[in-house]
Amino acid sequence: MNIFITGANRGIGLEFVKQYTSRGEYVLAGCRDPEKAKKLRRLLQTNHIISLDLADSNSISESVTIVKQHITHLHLFINNAGIMGKRGNPKSINQEDMLDTYSVNAVGPVILTKQLKSLMVSGAKVVNISSLMGSIEDNESGGYYAYRMSKAALNMASKNLYLELRKKGIIVLALHPGWVRTDMGGIVAPLSVKKSVSSMINVIDDAKSHQSGQFLRHDGEVLPW
Ligand SMILES: NC(=O)c1ccc[n+]([C@@H]2O[C@H](COP(=O)([O-])OP(=O)(O)OC[C@H]3O[C@@H](n4cnc5c(N)ncnc54)[C@H](OP(=O)(O)O)[C@@H]3O)[C@@H](O)[C@H]2O)c1
Confidence (pLDDT) at 92:
72
Give Cα separations from 197 to 12, 37, 200 (angstroms): 7, 20, 5
Report if residue 224 sits inside a domain.
no
Question: Is the beta carbon of 9 within 6 A of some atom in ligand 1?
Answer: yes
Report if residue 151 sits inside a domain.
yes
Report if residue 225 sits inside a domain.
no
Report if residue 38 sits inside a domain.
yes
Among 78, 179, 183, 184, name the best residue to mutate to test ligand 1's pocket (greatest count of ligand atoms within 8 A of Cβ): 184
Report if residue 23 sits inside a domain.
yes
Rounded to whole angstroms, the Cα distance separating 186 from 207 reads 29
Specify the number of domains making up the chain: 1
Residue 177: which CATH number?
3.40.50.720
DSSP string, 158-223: HHHHHHHHGGGT-EEEEEE--SBSSTTT-TT-SB-HHHHHHHHHHHHHH--GGGTTEEEETTS-B-
Q: What is the pLDDT along the chain (225 residues), one digit of tens a residue?
A: 999 999 999 999 999 999 999 999 999 999 999 999 999 999 999 999 999 999 999 999 999 999 999 999 999 999 999 999 876 566 678 999 999 999 999 999 999 999 999 999 999 999 999 999 999 999 999 999 999 999 999 999 999 999 999 999 999 999 999 999 999 999 999 999 999 999 999 999 999 999 999 999 999 999 999
Give the three-state DSSP class for 110.
helix
Q: Are 180 and 191 contacting, i.e. CB atoms less than 8 angstroms apart?
A: yes
What is the reported pTM? 0.98
Residue 171's domain comprises 2-217
Question: Is the beta carbon of 159 within 6 A of some atom in ligand 1?
Answer: no
Question: Is the beta carbon of 7 within 6 A of some atom in ligand 1?
Answer: yes
Q: How far is the CA of 80 from the centre of ligand 1 (A)?
A: 7
Count of CA atoms in the C-beta half-sphere (13 A) of 149: 17
Query: Which is nearest to 112 in space by CA: 139, 150, 79, 72?
Result: 79
Report if residue 82 sits inside a domain.
yes
Confidence (pLDDT) at 155:
98
Q: How far is the CA of 156 from the centre of ligand 1 (A)?
A: 19
Report if residue 101 sits inside a domain.
yes
Q: Name the burial class of residue 189, with classes exposed (0-12), middle (13-18) and buried (19+) by CB atoms within 10 angstroms of its CB.
A: middle
